Chain A
Amino acid sequence: MFALTVLYDPDCGLCRRSHEWLNEQAKLVELNFVPCASEEARKRFPFLDHDLTKQDLTVISPDGAVYFGPKAWLMVLWALARYREWSYRLASPELLPTTKRVVSAISQNRYQISRVAGLGR
């Protein structure tokens, strides 16, 4: 079955909370969560730059296509039944630059956001 592998940062509260939220959502495509740069991730993707995956969310499809950062977020949205429409909307040429800027800002400041929101580091 077609399933996307999501490499997430287990040390960040925001990411853990998002992970919990994603688990509750109805999906059109299965999502497998693997902590980034973990033993399992290195075993499954031996040629991937694992230091890079620590910097931002990474999604990998079964045929080896790698989506990094904002594109990975869009792929996660695409996998959700309720938000597939939004993934296309946010990926449209008019909105993609804004999407990238907002998503990157959240990713780069995820530890601060988690701290302010009281989600732990």
Chain B
Amino acid sequence: MNIVVSTYLVYLAISIALTVWVAHTLHKNGRIFLVDVFHGNEALADSVNHLLVVGFYLINMGYVTMALKLGYEINSAQEGIEALSVKIGMVLIVLGGMHFFNLFVFSRMRRRSVAHQHPPVGPDSFTTVKQEA
């Protein structure tokens, strides 16, 4: 096994582990947000949560896979580690971006559901309503 292949393998191992860890964190801590957004409808919240995590996995794994190829020669362990640090750094930045995007989506959904329950304007006056018999 030459040095390029081992760099690739280490890259894949670290990237996939990071993706799984971030997805797991999102899944665990996003749930409570979604339950609130959907007014306590836990089944719907779990379903949306799961779908969001699937999308998160697809985008991140897609990026990790596409960014695998190095495109230049590596001749020493030092160059291997340097290449690895650039690759892993990119994966971390993409993961961070995705993570904040997810948080943005969560908070936006929550703000919408909280803000739009009340009428847009206050009443002009009040009157007595007779209930129908």
In the complex the two chains form, is B127's CB within 8 Å of A48's CB? yes
Whether a CB of chain B sits under 8 angstroms from the CB of A47 is yes
A72 to B128, CA, bound (A): 17
CB proximity of B100 to chain A, nearest CB, Å: 25
CB proximity of B113 to chain A, nearest CB, Å: 12
For A, the interface residue count at a CB cutoff of 8 angstroms equals: 26
- Closest residue of chain A to B125, judged by CB? A66
Whether a CB of chain A sits under 8 angstroms from the CB of B129 is yes
| A44-B130, A64-B129 given; A78·B123 CB < 8 A | no
A81 to B120, CA, bound (A): 14
A88 to B116, CA, bound (A): 8
Q: Which chain B residues (81-128) contact chain A, with CB distance < 8 Å?
A: 116, 119-128
A44 to B132, CA, bound (A): 7
Interface size bracket, B side: 10 to 19
Q: Mark A80-110, 1 if CB is under 8 A from B, else 0.
A: 0000100110110000100000000000000
In the complex the two chains form, is A68's CB within 8 Å of B124's CB? yes
In the complex the two chains form, is B129's CB within 8 Å of A62's CB? yes
CB proximity of B109 to chain A, nearest CB, Å: 14
- Closest residue of chain B to A61, judged by CB? B123
A66 to B123, CA, bound (A): 5
| A65-B123, A66-B123, A74-B121 given; A44·B116 CB < 8 A | no
- Closest residue of chain A to B120, judged by CB? A91
- Among the interface residues B119, B126, B130, which one has the most CB atoms of the partner chain A within 10 A? B119
